[in-house]
Amino acid sequence: MKRVFVAAATLALLVGCSQNKITGRNQLSLFNEADIQSMAATEYQQFLTQNKVVSASASKDAEMVRRIGQRLVTAITSYYATQGLSEELNGYKWEYNLVNSNEVNAWCMPGGKIVVYTGLLPITQNEAALAVVMGHEIAHALAKHGNERMSQASAQQLGGQLLSVAIANKTPAAQNLFMSAYGIGSQVGALLPFSRKQELEADRFGLIFSAMAGYDPQQAIPLWERMAAASNGQKPPEMLSTHPAEATRIEKLRELMPEALKYYKPVGK
């Protein structure tokens, strides 16, 4: 029986591997993107009803989040068009909201559902740095890293086919795995960490997207220096829990910067 289960699991892993169109990397994707986007839309609206959303009409910070989001989406749409990958954005209905919370965090669900926490703003300090963070989070969603993490976890725990059905039916177990995979709330248990490879992909495309949107990607360096300093020996910000801050991160960002700067054209120039 054990051999049959192992064989079935191995077959699921082989069948579930596909090449990501934007990164070019083969990754495990056991879940249908439409199902994941449907769950994202449901969970996003539920999250907004349970948290204090800051109105863009009454807050310059919320308006900034919306402005950055719109500029990033324009840049991303253009980038995907030049790569002949516009269909990859099918189903994306972008939303950008600022939520009143001391948590130092931001995230993007599949389908373009973005949240920035007010606790992040004292660390980003300026619009370009916040654009780098939002670009990074959007890149995680576009690279389907959440699907990949959920697929890896389900292959180990429940078996891809079983959890795929659970995702489609939006069961509590599937909801918990989904929230954990996308780094939303610690109440769902241990958050699934991003791999170094996923982080590098999100850093690379996040820099490119923010640069294309007219924001200086070089703001990423002091941003992550401030992020690391924010821990001050205490519990690190949530972003450092879900996005490992290796000692080599800034060095990697410097290596990525020349490519990003090729796309950078300040707004109005």
| Active site (catalytic) residues | 137
Residue 150's alpha-carbon distances to 67, 181, 199, 211, in angstroms, are 31, 6, 16, 30
For the chain, report the end-to-end CA distance as a whole number of angstroms: 66
| Rounded CA separation 106/12 (Å) | 32
What are phi and psi for residue 245, nearest 5 degrees? -100, 80
| Rounded CA separation 160/109 (Å) | 20
Note whether 12 and 160 are within 8 A (CB).
yes
Q: What is the helix (H) or strand (E) element at residue 231, kind and residue range?
A: helix 220-231
